Structure 1
Amino acid sequence: MKLTTTLALIATVLITGCASVDMAPKADSEQAKTFKAPSAGKAGIYVYRNSSFGAALKKSLWVDGQCLGESAPHVFFYTEVDGGKTHKIDTESEFSANTLELTSEAGKHYFVRQYIKMGVFVGGAGLEQIPEEQGKADVAQLNLAKTGKCSPKQ
């Protein structure tokens, strides 16, 4: 009985509440949503979280081992990486990082959706690459978060 009650409480916390992160200025967010071409020799990566599931959870994101930031519901990040290389996008999860590898082409944008999933003790996170048109539509509804604050990588 206690285990069932504890699990129900954990599930409720994962579904309700709302994590907050530091947001970039509105002008920066609007600029990022114009989807202008990346710098010469670079590819653009948008990483976003567009679901309210697990709203109380913040999950750190890294690109090639560098902290991108902590996600919360309805936020996105944008970064540029070298084109013509394979890049690792990591998110913290319940027991270890989950990784998505992405081979980029200079001049293109890539969209990666972070999603929260149920875990044993706390919610985990996963990553999936999204087609460009869907990614643009999703990001257009979100706000840009500030980069650079991550919890320690597992």
Structure 2
Amino acid sequence: MKNFISAFGLIFLLLGCASTTQYAQHSDSNKNGNNYNNETMAQIYVLRPSSFGSAITFKIYEGEKFIGELGPKSYLSWQVDPAIGEIKVISKSENYSMLLVTPEVGKTYFIKQKVKMGWIMARTDLEWLTEKEALDMLKKLKAPKTPNFIQ
């Protein structure tokens, strides 16, 4: 009986679906990759097209600023001021992965969140996407939820 409950719990955990929540100001649900404030800002997207590890969310940061929790088949999007110079986009889970971005005015940067098997929970890896790859993926992904206190 104990094994049955453990197996049921494991199945429930694996089949559960984590949602995406964005805590940084969301720059609108533009699935065309267009930067709304392209005269002064740059745009960053982090996409997670996979449903592998669907019970796990990955915490996404811009340096030490918490952007949100990225769930399966969804994305996060926010604008950055290029005047701040180089920034770190970080994904945390059992490990962490980081990409450096030197934002330029009017540019959009696309990053793919990859999920890998870990010892205790899923591991993370970030990689660059081309605009074409990203725009194809964005059509199939859910926009993030934003808590009421941020809107």
TM range (shorter): 0.7 to 0.9
Q: Secondary structure at the match of 1:144?
A: coil
In structure 2, list runs of 5 or more residues that go unmatched. 1-5, 23-27
Give the TM-score of the pair, scaled to structure 2: 0.76
Contact 1:19 1:57 in 2 (8 A): yes
2:104 partner letter: E
Counterpart of 1:91, as a letter, is S
CA contact (8 A) 1:16 1:53 kept: no
CA contact (8 A) 2:74 2:143 kept: yes
TM-score, length-scaled by structure 1: 0.74
Alignment of 1:45-56 (within 5 A): 45-56=44-55
Displacement after TM superposition at 1:64 (Å):
2.5
Give the Cα separation in 1 of the matches to 2:66 and 2:78: 11
Number of equivalent positions: 133
* Unmatched runs of 5 consecutive residues or more in structure 1: 1-5, 149-154
The 1:41/1:22 distance shift into structure 2, 3 A limit, reads: closer
In structure 1, distance between residues paired with 2:13 and 2:60: 19
Name the aligned partner's letter for residue 32 of structure 2.
T
Distance 1:102 1:22 in 2: 22
Over the residues paired in the alignment, what is the CA RMSD in angstroms? 2.5
- 1:63-78 matches, within 5 Å, as 63-78=62-77
8 Å Cα contact 1:63/1:89 also seen in 2: yes
In the TM superposition, what is the alpha-carbon distance from 1:81 to its structure 2 partner?
0.9
Q: Deviations over 1:30-56 (max 9, x none)?
A: xx1133334222110011111011011
Cα offset for 1:97? 2.6
Q: 1:145 to 1:45 in 2, by over 3 A?
A: same
Please report how far the alpha carbon of residue 58 of structure 1 lies from its aligned counterpart in structure 2 after TM superposition: 1.0
